[in-house]
Structure 1
Amino acid sequence: MTRQLDEQIAGRFPVGRRLRVLDVGMGQGAQALRLARLGHEVTGVERDPRMIAAARANLAREPEGIRQRVRLVQGDGRDTGVHFRPGSFDVVLCHAVLMYVEDPDPLVAGLARMLAPGGLLSLLVRNGDALAMRPGLGGDWAGALAAFDTTTYRNRLGLDVRADRLSALTATLAGIAAPLQAWYGVRVFTDTAAHNAALPQDLATLLAVEERAGRTDPYRGVAALLHLCGVRG
């Protein structure tokens, strides 16, 4: 997904431009810190106290120059209008957040308002068109059969969450003046791997296969996750 994001950034902004980035639901700050290391000004928003504490600890280990480029805010992504002015950011990330939101449209619309004209909105969501793949490949036939008719599922944390269909999010992005420009699949072949599985020795090859599949039909359509990139008009 990082390679996909970098591809979109490189294709839309001049090389060397310092971007204003908002990372909503940043978790422990991996993506936020990576972008700060590349020279960008990053604001991370996270509501989970444990996650933001971990992000602050990770940030504290960075050199001063990087620490100065990162601002961490404890809050809900649905409150961006309270913390920031419309058009304040060149890039807005919202990765692995929408599955925890009952109605994603208001959140996505609020994120789009944070973008300056030409700004990039990056969403990572559970693929609602392929929910039967994981139980089916695992031999859970009853679970696979039930998954065809729903966009809800129980994740590996034991939480009941929801998925998004590509067609629905495409319509949402068009309706908020940030139409879809590119989309990718994420975890096409590796979704059934155990959460604590060791990294394989041929990791580079695995990543090359996943990256190729994530941009190639029909493979990307059955990925566990979808990476959607919209651009503010």
Structure 2
Amino acid sequence: MAVPTQAFGADGRLPGDATALRDLVERTLVSRRLDAELAARFPVGRRLRVLDVGAGEGAQTLRLARLGHEVTGLDLDPRMLRSARDALECEPPGVRRRVRLLTGDARATGALFRPGTFDAVLCHGVLMYVEEPGPLLAGLARVLAAGGLLSLLVRNADALAVGPGLAGDWAGALTAFDDPHCTDHVGVAARADRLGALTAALAGTGVPLRTWYGVGVFTGHRTEPGPAPHRQPSEGELEPLLAAEERAGATDPYRSVAPLLHLCATRD
């Protein structure tokens, strides 16, 4: 996945603060890994049935539809779905025909669709807002077809102390070692998961974890604007940054301290 040039301002730099950089790194690396995992499991050119749980404004839903897949986007927030529908209206007719946008709770996924309906199920940034992940994971597994891919993006409980520690918040760091509860970047209450617990939970659903990656090892914990104080990366600097993030996210021990984990599980 190429980095969109429209993300950069007239000065050739990424506008905004640390959140803009973090979001761009997350979106780009998760998309690259997802595409690679799908390409490894399915024949080239096969049109997949994809469910995007917690579709939000539809970034992954629309991207995968542009690649030729049939995508169902599910979200509980009507404002997010309105944004997704507005974005969908700007797409060519062929893309629009391949997308369904539905209002629904992620926790009801197993009841909303027939078993084995989808070749790939995405659930990115949802588990962190669910207190008990077990029932949600069971529902996602239920609708996944044999040979299908389950892609999860979760907050890493084993790295919660890194952010406050880097910011000099020592009390917060000490609390984060043991408490999986936290707040997201917009101040909403959230929760993190430990890799070991998720591995066991996925095995129990019949969709065992196959591989996992760290996301945002170098940029995800930052609170200042960019790689140097008050300066965002230029377009020329971003690809090396992404390459470093991508390698760290696939390499021990770096990936273990990433703020987010991208988990790929399969039903064989």
For 1:41-60, list aligned pairs within 5 A: 41-60=70-89
Partners of 1:115 and 1:48 in 2: how far apart? Answer: 23
1:81, CA displacement in angstroms? 3.0
Note if 1:200 corresponds to 2:200: no
1:160, CA displacement in angstroms? 2.0
- Cα 1:10–1:195 shift into 2, 3 Å: farther
Partners of 2:59 and 2:96 in 1: how far apart? Answer: 13
Match of residue 95 from structure 2: 66
Note if 1:92 corresponds to 2:127: no
For 1:22-33, list aligned pairs within 5 A: 22-33=51-62
Note if 1:189 corresponds to 2:222: no
For 1:1-233, list aligned pairs within 5 A: 1-194=30-223, 199-201=232-234, 202-233=237-268
Partners of 1:71 and 1:42 in 2: how far apart? Answer: 6
* Uncovered stretches (5+) of structure 1, i.e. residues with no partner: none
1:157, CA displacement in angstroms? 1.8
Equivalent pair of 1:138/1:192 in contact (CA under 8 Å): no
Range moving further from structure 2, 116-125 or 141-150: 141-150
- Cα 1:200–1:64 shift into 2, 3 Å: same
What is the one-letter code of the residue matched to 1:141? W
Partners of 1:206 and 1:41 in 2: how far apart? Answer: 32
1:199, CA displacement in angstroms? 4.7
For 1:82, what is the secondary structure of its paired residue? Answer: helix
Percent identity of equivalent pairs: 65
For 1:18, what is the secondary structure of its paired residue? Answer: coil
Partners of 2:77 and 2:225 in 1: how far apart? Answer: 22
* Uncovered stretches (5+) of structure 2, i.e. residues with no partner: 1-29
For 2:160, what is the secondary structure of its paired residue? Answer: coil
For 2:159, what is the secondary structure of its paired residue? Answer: coil
The alignment's TM-score, normalised by the length of structure 2, stands at 0.84
Partners of 1:146 and 1:215 in 2: how far apart? Answer: 28
Higher relative contact order (CA 8 A, sep 6+): 2
User: Stretches of 4+ moved more than 4 A in 1?
Assistant: 194-199
Partners of 2:110 and 2:209 in 1: how far apart? Answer: 22
Equivalent pair of 1:93/1:121 in contact (CA under 8 Å): yes
Which has the larger helix fraction?
2
Match of residue 15 from structure 2: none
Partners of 2:241 and 2:62 in 1: how far apart? Answer: 24
Q: How many residues align?
A: 233
The alignment's TM-score, normalised by the length of structure 1, stands at 0.97
